[in-house]
Structures are given as C-alpha cells and as structure tokens.
Amino acid sequence: ATKYTAFPPIALHDRQWPSQQITKPPVWLSTDLRDGNQALFEPMSVETKIRFFTRLVDIGFKEVEVGFPSASQTDFHFVRRLIDEKRIPDDVTPMVITQAREDLIARTVESVRGAKRAIVHLYNATAPVWRKVVFNMEVPQVMQLIQDRVAYLKKLTDAAPETEWVLQYSPETFSATELDVALQACNTAIEAWNARPGRPVIINLPTTVENATPNVFADQIEWMHRHLNQREHVVLSVHPHNDRGTGVAAAELAQMAGAQRVEGCLFGNGERCGNVDIVTLALNLYTQGVHPRLDFSDINAVAREVEEFTQIATHPRHPYAGDLVFTAFSGSHQDAIKKGFAAQKADAIWEVPYLPIDPADLGRTYDSVIRVNSQSGKGGVAYLLEKDHGVVLPRRMQVEFSAVVQRHAEAADAEVSSEEIWKLFKNTYLRA
C-alpha cells in the first residue's frame, strides 16, 4: 500500500474546500535520451544509451523517447540496436522524433521499422515569432505543412502494418502560440492521421520555453482539452520546460486541467533549465497516496547512475534525491523528528514532522547534523549524549544540562563538540 503523509493539503482529509487533487498517475514519457541528451556537452554514446534505456525500463517507463535518428547517426544506430537485439519489452513503446520534412520522416520511420509498436513524434513551431522570424510562413502555410507531412507519414506507416504506429504531434512553442492557431494545427494533424479506435494520436503541448505562471499554462491546456476534435481518440500530453522554475507546478496543474500524459526527464535534465523533473512529479504523487507506477525505491542508485550517464551532478537540495534533503540542521526540527520516529507505527500514515516522506521508502535514512552553540535548545545536546555516549537524560536534566552547555558556548563564542559536551557532562554530574 502506498503511504501518504499526514500533512497533505487538508482537503484530502475532510474536504473543507474544493481543491482539486491528482488521483491517478499520468502516462509518463521519459525524454532523457532525446531532450535530455541534446542538452549535454557530450551526447551519450550508444552503449550509454542502452544502459540508460534499460534503467528507464526497470524504473517502469512504458514510453521512452529514444532519440532523433534522422539528425544523429548515433541515435539511428542506437534505435536499430534496440529493435534488432530485441531489447524493448512488449509493453514498452519507443518514440522517435522528427522535423516535418519528407526525407527526415522517411529516415525516422526506417529507424523503428520492425518494432512491435512505435510512436513517431512530428513537430513544427507554431508561435508568431517563429513563423515570422525563423520560417517566414503565414498560418495557412503552416497548416498545409502539417497536413502534408502527417499524410506522408501515414502513407509510409500504412505500408508497414507489422508495426502498430502512433502519431505524436507537437506544436512546438505551443504556450507562445495563439490558442486558435494551436488548435487548428492539432486538429489538422488529428484529421490527416485519421485518428480513430486502434489508431490513436498523441497531442503533445510543450511550453518549449516556459513563459508564464503555471496557471496560465493550465488554462491553455484546459481550453485545448475542451476544444480538440476526436478528443476520445486523442491522448493529451504536456511537455513543460522549467525556464521560470515552475515546470513541476505547470505539469501538476496541467493534469488537473485535462492532461493525461507527461513528458520529462529524471532530475530535470534537458535544454536550458531542463525539462520537467519526473522524479519530483512522481514522488509528489506518492506523498499524496497515489502510486506513480515508477519505482524510486533506491533513489540513490538512480541518481548516481544518471549522474554517470549525463555527467551532471544532482543538486544536494534536489527534492527527494539530493544528499541533504533528509538531513535536519535545526535543533527544534531534530527534536520533533526524534519524537515523530518514536511515535510512528509501521504501515501507518507517515506522521514524522519535517520529513515529507519516509526516507526508507526511497532507500534512504534520516540524518541529523547536530550543531550545538549558544542558541541551541536541549534537543541537540540530549541527542548527542545519547548517540555518542549512550547517556539518556531525563527531561528535567535535559533542560538543566543544556543551560550548562549554553553558558559554555557563550563563553567560548563557538560551537561545542560532542566530546566537549561529554566532558562538561562528566564535570557536572560524575565528579566523585
């Protein structure tokens, strides 16, 4: 059973106000091997990608964007190896991305030929600045491009019925695109693909560059959710980046607004400030009692391996995964945590103050850094005496003895070490 914390939003307990909750995990897509990879100083080798892919599958991803095979020979080779060496489990679908050009689409389809199921991810930028400055295209030309290229992809894939083909269409720069234009682009793709049962389409709405508060993105998603054609045959996906530091919030609000699928990277790797961090999203769900269907029960092993693959260190304060996130520095926190652990019953709701999740669920342990100085309370002193010297002080003595330690710290104008505390203790109580 999934634990959840005793301090989720109060609405979860008694619904005093109608806050929305996410009640089931989205379909996750890892783009570590594509968006994540393209943002590395040194893109991953085929061997590293194979190891990373295997790890993603072990974690539980059922959809993995494996690369950009028309743009990179390494990626083409990697995808072919996955398929030819039968490394893709039957319940996992690879996704390959392509720009909307016929030669690139053809090469992309070649890369996944023979897969049981494959998603071809076609994208083009739709925002006004890109139309004007980058492509010099008017809106009708953009729509024609989408219509033609999706039809071309359909023709190629119809001729290869041994694979179950799924179209993913992304209006790149969606969040900076007029909503009616974005809708027209997506509906054009849906119609050109002839979406219907057994022939689904994924409409993936990226922020590309995060440009507004997350509620604005959620409003955009909700509007698309209400207006898309063939909605029942469409999987509505989001692809938040993190330029304003609100990628996680954007993904969470977007799910409440109708998104069914989330694309991101482990630990928020990806272009610029990263793609949305799937570890944080998944474990945020976990703390609310919703099993994310991704396994982070040995988060340290995942973090160390991803660091090796990407050569990027995990920040020590990264939610759930950073080296310091289960370390308490403050004496009052330490005291509360100690009491929480003593009161916590196995398999009950997690009720240890200051720890948003049981570290053991992630294969981790709680650490306390005890710094005793003139400002510290009795908790740190008592803890060090017990941990390092096996002395359990009764409560009244804790108050009395911590005053002794505080006076000492004040006089020395410095921190007091565990050894000094022990000496003071012996001088105060154990002198013959």
Name the residue nearer to ligand KIV (CB basis): 170 or 330.
Answer: 170
Identity of the amino acid at 193: W
Of 191 and 271, CB closest to ligand KIV:
271
Q: Contact with ligand KIV (CB under 6 A): which of 53, 123, 130, 425?
A: 123
* 241 annotated among ligand-binding-site residues: yes
Nearest-approach distance from CB 31 to ligand KIV, in angstroms = 7
Q: Is 275 annotated in some ligand binding site?
A: yes
Site string for ligand KIV, 203-232 (x = CB under 6 A): -x-x-x------------------------
358 binds Zn ion per the rule CB under 5 A: no
Check the annotation: does 239 bind a ligand: yes
- From the list 65, 60, 68, the residue with the least C-alpha distance to 95 is 65
Instruction: Give the number of C-alpha atoms closer than 13 A to the C-alpha of residue 247, restricted to the C-beta side.
Output: 32
> With CB cut-offs between 5 and 8 Å by kind, which of ligand KIV, Zn ion, none does residue 170 bind?
ligand KIV
Using the rule CB under 6 A, give the single segment among 50-58, 157-165, 200-208, 253-261 that binds ligand KIV. 200-208
Q: Per-residue x/- mask for ligand KIV, residues 153 to 172, rule CB under 6 A?
A: -----------------x-x
Residues 366-425 that bind ligand KIV (CB under 6 A): none
**242 lies in the binding site for ligand KIV (CB under 6 A):** no
> Of the candidates 5, 26, 32, 35, which one interacts with ligand KIV according to CB under 6 A?
35
Residues 259-318 that bind Zn ion (CB under 5 A): none
136 annotated binding-site participant: no
The 3-state secondary structure of the chain, one letter per residue: CCCEECCCCCHHHHCCCCCCCCCCCCEEEECHHHHHHHCCCCCCCHHHHHHHHHHHHHHCCCEEEEECCCCCHHHHHHHHHHHHCCCCCCCCEEEEEEECCHHHHHHHHHHHCCCCEEEEEEEEECCHHHHHHHHCCCHHHHHHHHHHHHHHHHHHHHCCCCCEEEEEEEEECHHHCCHHHHHHHHHHHHHHHCCECCECEEEEEECCCCCCCHHHHHHHHHHHHHHCCCHHHEEEEEECECCCCCHHHHHHHHHHCCCCEEEEEHHHCCCCCCECEHHHHHHHHHHECCCCCCCCCCHHHHHHHHHHHHCCCCCCCCCCCCCCCCEECCHHHHHHHHHHHHHCCCCCCECCCCCCCCHHHHCCCCEECCCECCCCCHHHHHHHHHHHHCCCCCHHHHHHHHHHHHHHHHHHCCCECHHHHHHHHHHHHHCC
CB-CB contact of 115 with 91 (8 Å): no
In the complex, minimum distance from the CB of residue 207 to ligand KIV, in angstroms, rounded to a whole number: 7
The footprint of Zn ion on this chain (CB under 5 A) covers a number of residues equal to 1
Site for ligand KIV contains 37 (CB under 6 A): no
Task: Choose among 228, 293, 330: nearest CA to 25.
Answer: 293
Applying CB under 5 A, the span of 33-41, 115-123, 309-317, 324-332 interacting with Zn ion comes to 33-41
Structure tokens at 67: 């690369």
123 binds, among Zn ion, ligand KIV, none (CB under 5 to 8 A by kind): ligand KIV
Q: Applying CB under 5 A, does 63 fall inside the site for Zn ion?
A: no
Q: Which residue bears the tokens 């945020």?
A: 284
Question: Residue 172 touches which of ligand KIV, Zn ion, none (CB < 5 to 8 A by kind)?
Answer: ligand KIV
Q: Closest CB to ligand KIV among 274 and 379?
A: 274
Measured distance CA(140)–CA(50) in Å, rounded? 41
35 makes contact with Zn ion (CB under 5 A): yes
Minimum CB–partner distance for residue 206 and ligand KIV (Å): 3
- String marking each residue 336-365 x if it binds ligand KIV according to CB under 6 A: ------------------------------
**Minimum CB distance to ligand KIV, residue 208 (Å):** 3
Least distance from ligand KIV to the Cβ atom of residue 61, Å: 17
Report the interface residues with Zn ion, using CB under 5 A: 35
Instruction: List residues forming the annotated binding site for Mg(2+).
Output: 35, 239, 241, 275
Report the interface residues with ligand KIV, using CB under 6 A: 35, 123, 170, 172, 204, 206, 208, 239, 241
Instruction: List residues forming the annotated binding site.
Output: 35, 239, 241, 275
